[in-house]
Amino acid sequence: VDNLNIVIIQSAVRRPNGDMVRRMISVNELVGYDPETGGFSFVAMFIWNPVTDTFDFPGKGSSFLLENKVATLLGLPEERRGEIYLEIDKRARILERLHKAGYTGFWDLYHMMTKIKKQGLLKIEI
């Protein structure tokens, strides 16, 4: 359990047109485990909004993992760790642009993200 940091809940849902699709319902950061009850405490970082088919980010500004693990891996010094949320916003905008450009298949998106990373475009401001 010590190495378990995130739990993603996924479900089959019905779209307004009647099609069944798979959606991530929530992305949750595990905070602790109570061995007596066998229960976990967690904070919901991202929650799927079925009305808009988008994600809300209620965990913005309160993620231990983003601020203390991911920010460190990206080289952000301690006094600038809050900037990790700007990085999340920037990457979300990149994904939105790719979606609008028609990159919706897994492999197409994978190859484009690899190209973007190789060209250093993740380091620029969007």
Q: Is the pLDDT of residue 126 over 50?
A: no
Question: Has residue 71 got a pLDDT over 70?
Answer: yes
SS3 at position 35: coil
Backbone dihedral region of 18: left (phi > 0), alpha (psi from -120 to 50 degrees) or beta?
A: left
Query: Listing from the earlier edge strand, what are the strands of the sheet with 39-49?
Result: 6-14, 20-34, 39-49, 54-56
In the predicted model, is pLDDT for residue 106 greater than 50?
A: yes
Nearest-angstrom CA–CA distance, 87 and 81: 10
Rounded to two decimals, what is the model's pTM?
A: 0.78
Hey, what's the torsion of the CAs at 98, 59, 41, 78, to 10 degrees? 100
Which pLDDT score is estimated for 63? 93
